Amino acid sequence: MVNYKTPNVYIEEISKLPPSVAGVSTGIPAFIGYTEKAEDNGEDLTNVPTRITSLLEYETFFGLAKATEIEVTTDGDEITNIVITEPIFLMYYALQMFFNNGGGACYIVSVGPYTSDDSKDPALFTDGLAALKKEDEPTLILLSDAVNLDTTSDYYGLCVEALAQCNTLQDRFAVFDVVQEDSDPITDAAAFRSAVSSEYLNYGAAYYPYLQTSLNYYYTDDSVTVDVTGTLGEIKDTQGALYNAIKSEISKKRIILPPSSAIAGVYARVDRDRGVWKAPANVSLASVTVPTVKITNEDQEDLNVDTIAGKSINAIRYFTGKGVLVWGARTLAGNDNEWRYVPVRRLFIYVEESVQQATEFAIFEPNVSVTWLKVKSMIESFLEGLWRQGALAGSTAEQAFFVNVGLGVTMTSQDILEGRMNVEIGLAAVRPAEFIILKFSHKLQEA
């Protein structure tokens, strides 16, 4: 209380409203991989998580894709064959897919520049993950550029590291690609399940198969070899017709990419349009013509339900008249009734992180009923807002959530002496209707 000493009229503003919980951002992925460059006005951005919001920003800081090597065989002025060396460095194309599918803000972790021999060092990706651990805002981890490591086991080892980071920080979720080696869903799924450990599975989801995109290969005149001359640039002025014909044919070629970057865009779009509690499934993919492997209902039975380890894999399928759809919304913990679904896990991450940041005001406040009431009212108001938006199940707020705090409720006298304020929060998260069962029967004639 202020000790007034001079006679006067004094005004005191008394706060009656509790503080509020501001929801944290969701759908902000961090892409880890090789880039053409990594600098901002001379400052090295290698292993520096950098926030961008557009492909133009990416190009400014990290450059373009590595020029694709293309060999063209001709017979006079006729093109007889075009052989494209599939790109090993996928970061630039992954960003295109992310933005095309509704992505917004994201982080780039450049682990180094493109190598001349297309080699990749898994240790650099580990360093990139370590750098990302220090950044608070990212909510998704993407390893799209790591699928082309020398051995598949190196990539799956990184997946295990990413899951461990998600579990430690509890504020992010990992989106993985199942490496497509045999183009057989059962074989590729078995390889993935054998290589990825069974720890922290509820913090990740995997997708299959790779996607035939509508994106063009990035190339330069010098990266295209023409058998009659040497490079495409060398015939530009002397054989204009052949030059234009070659460029026209190359423009018809489309790159194949692992699905995780497109899926990250879907996560961001669904979060923005519907909410993090809506399953990112039964949603079409942009810039995709077809999945590279046709998955049948029988194939998806094995992908969706893993009776041994529960490592569910979400299928991407083509449906006539609907296009290419994400047809699964399970985490890798497919046998876990609590954390089976991606939206449930991500909703809890969203609520936990939002409440954690909002309750920091109470640190070192008196551990008494006044503070407890402020904290409880603040959290209840936030959760009621989520319930009214459809994020929580229940016909009443009491059925949808509870918040408990207080002496004799969540705390003992010893807790208070030791400076602990325990708050218990329960949520009835909505779950997706994965299986719609329609039951029909004959109705007997009555007249």
pLDDT one digit per residue (tens) for the chain, 447 residues: 678 889 888 888 877 777 888 888 899 999 999 999 999 999 999 999 999 999 999 999 999 999 999 999 998 888 999 999 999 999 999 999 999 999 999 999 999 999 988 899 999 999 999 999 999 999 999 999 999 998 899 999 999 999 999 999 999 999 999 999 888 999 999 999 999 999 999 999 999 999 999 999 999 999 999 987 889 999 888 888 899 999 999 999 999 999 999 999 999 999 999 999 999 999 999 999 999 999 999 999 999 998 888 899 999 999 999 999 999 999 999 999 999 999 999 999 999 999 999 999 999 999 999 999 999 999 999 999 999 999 999 999 999 999 999 999 999 999 999 999 999 999 999 998 878 787 877 778 777
Q: Is residue 163 part of a domain?
A: yes
Q: Judge if 206 and 230 occupy the same domain.
A: no
Q: Is residue 65 part of a domain?
A: yes
Backbone angles phi, psi at 48, to 5 degrees: -115, 105
Contact 135, 30 (CB under 8 A): yes
Domain boundary residue, one of 206, 234, 250: 250
3-state secondary structure of 30: strand
Instruction: Please give the pLDDT value at position 204.
Output: 97
Q: Judge if 210 and 328 occupy the same domain.
A: yes
271: left (phi over 0), alpha (psi -120 to 50) or beta: alpha
Q: Judge if 89 and 150 occupy the same domain.
A: yes
Q: What is the DSSP string of 158-173?
A: HHHHHHHHHHHH-S-E
Q: How many domains does the chain have?
A: 3
Q: Judge if 205 and 294 occupy the same domain.
A: yes
The two three-digit tokens of residue 308, written as one number: 């041994």
Q: What's the CA gap between 119 and 111, in Å, rounded?
A: 13
Domain that holds residue 261: 29-216+253-346
Q: What's the CA gap between 415 and 422, in Å, rounded?
A: 8
Q: Judge if 303 and 367 occupy the same domain.
A: no
Which helix (H) or strand (E) segment holds residue 355: the answer is helix 342-358
Q: Judge if 120 and 202 occupy the same domain.
A: yes
Side chain identity, residue 262: A
Instruction: Please give the pLDDT value at position 1.
Output: 63
**Exposed e or buried b per residue across 332-346, where buried means at least 16 C-beta atoms within 10 angstroms of its C-beta:** bbbbbeebbbbbbbb
Provide the H-helix boundaries in 150-307.
152-169, 185-195, 240-250, 260-273, 297-304
Q: What's the CA gap between 206 and 172, in Å, rounded?
A: 15
Taking Cα atoms as reference points, which of 178, 213, 433 lies closest to residue 295? 178
Q: Judge if 167 and 210 occupy the same domain.
A: yes
Instruction: Please give the pLDDT value at position 441.
Output: 75
The Cα-based distances of 205 to 81, 190, 356 in angstroms read 40, 15, 25
The Cα-based distances of 185 to 289, 306, 354 in angstroms read 19, 13, 38
The two three-digit tokens of residue 369, written as one number: 């009923």
Q: Is residue 23 part of a domain?
A: no
Q: What's the CA gap between 278 and 269, in Å, rounded?
A: 11
User: Looking at the whole model, is its pTM more than 0.85?
Assistant: yes
Q: Is residue 12 part of a domain?
A: no
